[in-house]
Chains A and B, each alone.
Chain A
Amino acid sequence: MSKKIVCYCQDLTEVDLIRAIEEGYDHIETLKRFTGAFMGPCQGKMCAANVLKLFAHKTGQSIENLRVPTMRPPVEPIPLGWLATGIDRGKDEEEI
């Protein structure tokens, strides 16, 4: 079977997720923790649509009624130094 990547941060494939659900990680919060989906540097921004669609299909739920894993701050990953000093030292290196 060809590898279908659904989560780019953790290199999760469709098969990884299906196996995890079959193993009993069939709540979105436990699936997240078991596979690492939503937990990489994108924090779900890239993978959420893929993962939720697959999860809804596999567990026979409608995607509209699915609970989305708790979104945690920050919205974008930010350097600890900015928080520590309040100085945006990294801004000249990278436009955000």
Chain B
Amino acid sequence: MKKKYDVVIIGGGVQGLSLAYNLARSGLHRVAVLEKSYIGSGASGRNGEMIRSAFASEEWIRLFNKSLRIWETLSGELDFNVMFTRHGYLILASTSEEMAACQNNIKRQNELGIGTRLVDAEEVINLIPALNRQVVTGGIFQSDGGFARHDAVVWAYARAARRLKVDICPFTEVIDIVVKSGKVLGVKTTQGDIETRTVVNAAGAYARRVAGMVGVELPLEIYRLEMIVTEPLKPFLRVALSSPHMMGYMHQTTRGEFAGGAKPENLSPYTGLKSTLVAAQDMARKFVLLFPGLYGARLMRQWAGVVSKTPDRGPLLGAVEEVEGYILSAGWGGYGFMGSPAGGKLMAELIINGEAPAEIRPFSPKRFKTGELITESTIIGLAEINVQ
């Protein structure tokens, strides 16, 4: 760690690391990433690994399709196999109402050039023969979606950034941010002080706390998710699958493990990282209902992760008005992993050019003051229960 940097990024998760890499690639090498634990220790290494751009709103579709295009060549670009598996992403409809929503969403997706198609129950069963027919009405299939290995993405961005002279500092916690006359001047950390004019808050679940250091109140709440993984099984699920009906998402890893998460109906206000039995039972019920063959599959491990979410569930991307040099890449709310290739690239453009690229302009933090909120209806687990 040096005494002075052009940009200091708080948070060594996929978003912060992708941003650091993209800044360095654009010629800005005096960049530091500060991480209070090991890199990827937060939601970046705890998420469902799923990747799609099949959303309902133009804003989400444009942003995440930009990301999907980068995912396609990311392993080559970073010289590290992130195991992007483009086997497709299916959004399952289990009721006629959900099917009607799919019909509605596919129109906009196709207008924007997203390669999705409406599938009926028969086609869903052809894609995933192991599914319980009783919960299948149809769905939307995005053939170029899929999943990637989350930890590998963290390491790939970190290594690529280091090769471009970025300083990545694990076990370096930010204690305070120095602001004078409304301008960022530096950062105080557990490893010493740093001088900088630009700080990026990419602190995931802890973004609100980090914003408090400059006296800015962000519309963020901690949102807690749990996941499980089974012992390795014979291949039975090629695609990434989400079920809005069960507020769940799942895929089978390249090692054969079935990995998935779901949101229980009754979320406790707890925001820590311990697993709960209620969530394990809820996930087991849902996954066995979807795949009766999973009855005998052994649950190997359960874990939790925390993210922060905004009232409209979209991320906060851009500068805050109150403090010069304070920039946000926060509130990704469970979509930070799939959005990391575009998030880092576009935020780097914003920092270097001083102007937000078109894909992230709608996600400006200002929208919560002007009221121009984004309506996105395909967020898994949207049926809201307030946490925190």
Contacts and interface: CB of A to CB of B under 8 A. Distances in A.
B374 interface: no
Contacts of B301: 39, 43, 72-73
Contacts of B45: 33
Given A30-B39, A73-B280, A84 B298 contact: no
A73 B296 contact: no
Contact of A80 (B39, B155, B297): B297
Contact of A77 (B41, B287, B300, B303): B300
A59 to B, nearest CB: 14
Nearest to A30: B38
B161 to A, nearest CB: 13
Interface string B269-309: 00000010000110011011100001111111111000000
Interface in B210-255: 230-232, 255
B interface bracket (residues with beta carbon within 8 Å of A): 20 to 34
A83 B170 contact: no
17 contacts: A25-B155, A34-B155, A41-B232, A72-B302, A72-B303, A73-B280, A74-B280, A74-B302, A77-B299, A80-B230, A80-B284, A81-B284, A81-B296, A83-B299, A84-B285, A84-B295, A89-B295
Nearest to B303: A72
A79 B361 CA distance: 47
A78 B277 CA distance: 13
A62 B285 CA distance: 44
Contacts of A74: 280, 299, 302
Interface string B143-166: 000000001000100010000000
Interface of B: 38-41, 45, 151, 155, 159, 170, 230-232, 255, 275, 280-281, 284-285, 287-289, 294-303
A88 interface: no
Interface of A: 24-25, 27, 29-30, 33-34, 36, 39-41, 43, 72-74, 77-85, 89-90
Given A24-B159, A79-B297, A82-B284, 9 more contacts: A27-B170, A29-B38, A41-B231, A77-B298, A77-B300, A81-B295, A81-B296, A84-B285, A84-B289
A43 B301 CA distance: 8
Nearest to B276: A73
A84 to B, nearest CB: 4
A27 B280 CA distance: 29
B299 A80 contact: yes
A39 B257 CA distance: 11
Contacts of A85: 288
- CB-based closest 7 A-B pairs: A81-B295, A83-B284, A77-B298, A84-B284, A84-B288, A80-B284, A33-B151
B38 A27 contact: yes
Given A79-B295, A83-B280, A34 B288 contact: no
A54 B190 CA distance: 30
A77 B159 CA distance: 35
Contact of B296 (A24, A25, A30, A79): A79
B300 A41 contact: yes
Nearest to A86: B281
B278 to A, nearest CB: 11
Nearest to B149: A33
Contacts of A72: 275, 301-303
Contact of A78 (B159, B289, B294, B299): B299
A80 B287 contact: yes
Contact of B275 (A73, A77, A82, A89): A73
Nearest to B296: A79
Given A41-B231, A83-B284, A34 B151 contact: yes
A94 to B, nearest CB: 11
B296 A90 contact: yes
A82 B277 CA distance: 12
| Residue of A40, A72, A83, A89 with most chain B CB atoms under a 10 A cut-off | A83
A83 B286 CA distance: 11
A74 B288 CA distance: 18
B54 to A, nearest CB: 28
A61 B316 CA distance: 42
A79 B310 CA distance: 36
Nearest to B289: A84
Query: Max chain B CB contacts within 10 Å: which of A39, A73, A90?
Result: A73
A74 B283 CA distance: 14
Contact of B295 (A24, A33, A80): A80
B296 A83 contact: no
